[in-house]
Homo-oligomer: A and B are copies of this chain.
Amino acid sequence: MSAVIHAEISLFEQYSQVRQQSESIAAPLKPEDTVPQSMPDASPIKWHLAHTTWFYETFILRAQANYTEFHPDFQYLFNSYYNGVGEQYTRANRGLVTRPDLQQVMQYRQHVDMAMQKLLESSQDEGIQTLLVLGMNHEQQHQELMLTDLKHLLSHNPLHPSYVAEKPYATNRMLVEKRWLPIEGGLLDIGNNGDTEFIFDNEGPLHKHYLSDFEIASHCVSNAEYLEFIRAGGYQNPTYWLSDGWAFISENHITAPMYWQMNETGEWCYYTLNGLQKLDLQAPVTHISYYEADAFATFKAARLPTEQEWEVACRQMHMQSKVIGTNFAESGQYKPVDTNSPNNFLGNVWQWTQSSYSAYPGFKAWEGTVGEYNGKFMSGQMVLRGGSCATSASHIRSSYRNFFPPSARWQFSGIRLVK
């Protein structure tokens, strides 16, 4: 990876903005909200705030001669999964660690921020800058998880609490008709060498990949379209489903996307970070598993794109490698917005691809312990592309590879069809 520095503002200022953003996400919360862990895959807000701090401390500050650690046990306590750093506190028990409390975690953040400031003022070391940029991207990834983990937690509360009050839509909504966009295949470049910006190791190296021509939908699947699938008995008919998918929905009694519920008058509602709301039919369907995305595609006699198809289509549609879609900060909506922006591949919901998450040809993990970042997760997961309403804008690019197990539903995941 390379440490790409925005010329206009200093690296420390960029760092400070990222740090501030995490704290802004936590700001509307009570200390109580930051403690529990609603499932092993999710983490407490308090843990996210500490772990993102631990990352700089562990990979940058501990290597400095004069750094004094904040607490001797935090190296162990806030390690997520880096075996190279040492053993880790049991992941599934993160919600049982009430101390340090939120205030002490904020002091830990301040302690590390001050040490980082001092270090950056005195050092021009490129290795440090590279790790710093990685740490910032790491923290931005956790910012998305803070929102999705929080939503998962709060959804268990029968009072349906709002994270923040809703703002009205800024624009008039206008339904644009879905079209099939023809994409030309051939022997094409896939991936990203990261010459001009930060990329994760799993986005490279740039390599050739052969694709046939295909057609891809101009819009993601809407809640209205998904409702047709439900009403047609899609969740009751095994012929639409992968074998694992049918087992998954049967064992878990799943009959609708996560967070959907029917109210007493038979209307579909869904829990959002703005509280329980009536289903927005124009908005893209989200919080579905890969299995549901695949079953929907089969129901529609279509299929999901491969990640290479998606990437090529995204590049062709946007004519550029980086386009920022809508997100929480922009829309004021803590949910994906409607699907009326034509050809928008980026930034509303993550889109499941039919590609398993694996190494690109010639893939090399980063050197050292940070090499555990991506490579060791290359089994059992599917690639999602595009970025969601909760994704940091600087992570929204055509080559970005998100990955989750096919059963994961708590991310803002949706569907774009191919045929």
In the bound complex, CA of A93 to CA of B211 (Å): 45
Find out whether the CB atom of B30 lies under 8 angstroms from the CB atom of A99: yes
User: Could you tell me which residues of chain A, from 76 to 92, have a CB within 8 Å of some CB in chain B?
Assistant: 76-77, 81, 83-84, 89
Quick one: which of B35, B239, B245, B356 contacts A36, CB cutoff 8 A?
B35
Find out whether the CB atom of B96 lies under 8 angstroms from the CB atom of A153: yes
User: Could you tell me which residues of chain A, from 347 to 397, have a CB within 8 Å of some CB in chain B?
Assistant: 354-356, 358-359, 361-362, 376-380
Quick one: which of B89, B95, B99 contacts A95, CB cutoff 8 A?
B95
A238 interface hit (Cβ, 8 Å): yes
A224 interface hit (Cβ, 8 Å): no
Quick one: which of B83, B84, B98 contacts A32, CB cutoff 8 A?
B98
Find out whether the CB atom of B156 lies under 8 angstroms from the CB atom of A93: yes
Q: Contact mask A296-319 → B, CB, 8 Å, 1/0? A: 000000010000000000000000
Q: Contact mask A23-47 → B, CB, 8 Å, 1/0? A: 0000000111111101000000010
Q: Contact mask A67-111 → B, CB, 8 Å, 1/0? A: 000000100110001011000010001011111111000000000
Of the listed stretches A14-22, A57-65, A157-165, A195-203, chain B binds A157-165
Q: Which residue of B lies closest to A309 (CB)?
A: B361
Q: Contact mask A221-253 → B, CB, 8 Å, 1/0? A: 000000000000000001101111110000000
In the bound complex, CA of A270 to CA of B392 (Å): 46
Q: Which residues of B contact A210 (CB under 8 A)?
A: 187, 208-210
Quick one: which of B99, B154, B238, B380 contacts A244, CB cutoff 8 A?
B380
Q: Which residues of B contact A153 (CB under 8 A)?
A: 96, 98
Given contacts A156-B96, A187-B187, A210-B208, contact A243 B376 (CB under 8 A): yes
Given contacts A159-B73, A356-B356, contact A83 B377 (CB under 8 A): no
Find out whether the CB atom of B245 lies under 8 angstroms from the CB atom of A30: no
Find out whether the CB atom of B241 lies under 8 angstroms from the CB atom of A376: yes
Q: From residue A337, how far is it (CB to closest CB) to chain B in Å?
A: 27
Find out whether the CB atom of A158 lies under 8 angstroms from the CB atom of B73: yes
Find out whether the CB atom of A99 lies under 8 angstroms from the CB atom of B354: no
User: Could you tell me which residues of chain A, from 143 to 163, have a CB within 8 Å of some CB in chain B?
Assistant: 153-154, 156-159, 161
In the bound complex, CA of A96 to CA of B157 (Å): 7
In the bound complex, CA of A245 to CA of B375 (Å): 13
Find out whether the CB atom of A378 lies under 8 angstroms from the CB atom of B157: no
A406 interface hit (Cβ, 8 Å): yes
A56 interface hit (Cβ, 8 Å): no
Given contacts A32-B102, A153-B98, contact A376 B93 (CB under 8 A): no
Residues of A within 8 A of B (CB): 30-36, 38, 46, 73, 76-77, 81, 83-84, 89, 93, 95-102, 153-154, 156-159, 161, 187, 207-212, 238-239, 241-246, 290-291, 294, 303, 354-356, 358-359, 361-362, 376-380, 406
